[in-house]
Chains A and B, each alone.
Chain A
C-alpha cells in the first residue's frame, strides 16, 4: 500500500531509528548494570536527535545533542559513580513489586495508542516544507513566549543554586 505523501527513504530511516530507540529504552529500564543503563539512555537520546532532524527541527536536534548527550549524561554518570553503584551485575535494582509496572505500562500504552490511532488515522506529515529556520524559533521564543522564557531562566537559576546548597558539605 503506497499512498501519496509516504516518503519511502524517510520512512525506512524512521523505522530503523525507532526500533533502535525502543530496544535501548527497554535496556534502560531492564538492565542489571547501572552504567549500561546510562549508556543505553545515550543511544535513546541520539535516536531522538535523529528523529528531530527527520522532523525538520534542526535547532532542537542540536540542542538535544548538546544538553542531553553532552551535559545530562555526564551528570548521570557522575551520579552513578558518586553513589558507588556496584560494578557489573547488580541484582538489587528493582522494587519488590516491579511486576506491577508491566500491567500499568501496558494499560497506558493501550489507552494512548488507541487515542492516537483513533485521532490521527492516516494523517501524513506535509512534504517539502524544508527545515524550520532557527530565526523562526528565536522569533517565537523572544516574541510570544518571552514571559515563559524569563520564568525558565529563573527556574534554571534556582535549580543551580538549589543543587549547590543541597550537595555542598558544611
Chain B
C-alpha cells in the first residue's frame, strides 16, 4: 500500500509544471521507475556546463513525510551510487557556491528549501529572511527544482 507521502509526490509530479519541465528538458528522473527506491528519488537537473561540467546535475532526494516535511537533497554520482565527490559539486558564483557547500554538509543543500538546514536549529532566521524559499507544506517538489534550475543556469 502506498504511503501518503508517496501519493502526494506522485500527484505533484503528474501536474503540469513538473511535466512541462520534463518536456522542456529542464529536469527528469534517473530511473525508469523513479519511486522504486522511495523515499529516495534521483532527479537530474539540466545545468550550464560552466557550473556543472556534464550539463546535468543529479540529485538524490530524500522525501519521507513529503510535503509536510521539506525534502533534502545532495549531488549524486550515478556511477558509484554515492554522494558526488566534493570537487565535482556544482560551483561558479556566490549564490551557487553558497547553496552547494560540501564543506558544510555533504548530504544536503544550504537552502531554505532543504530539510537539513531549516531543522538544525542554526538557521531559524531564514524563515523571515527568505520567506519565499522557506519550505512550507504547500510547496511542491517543482518549487525546489525551479529554484535549483535557475541557480544552475543563470
Pair from one complex = no
Where the two chains meet, the residues of B that have a C-beta atom closer than 8 Å to any C-beta of A are none
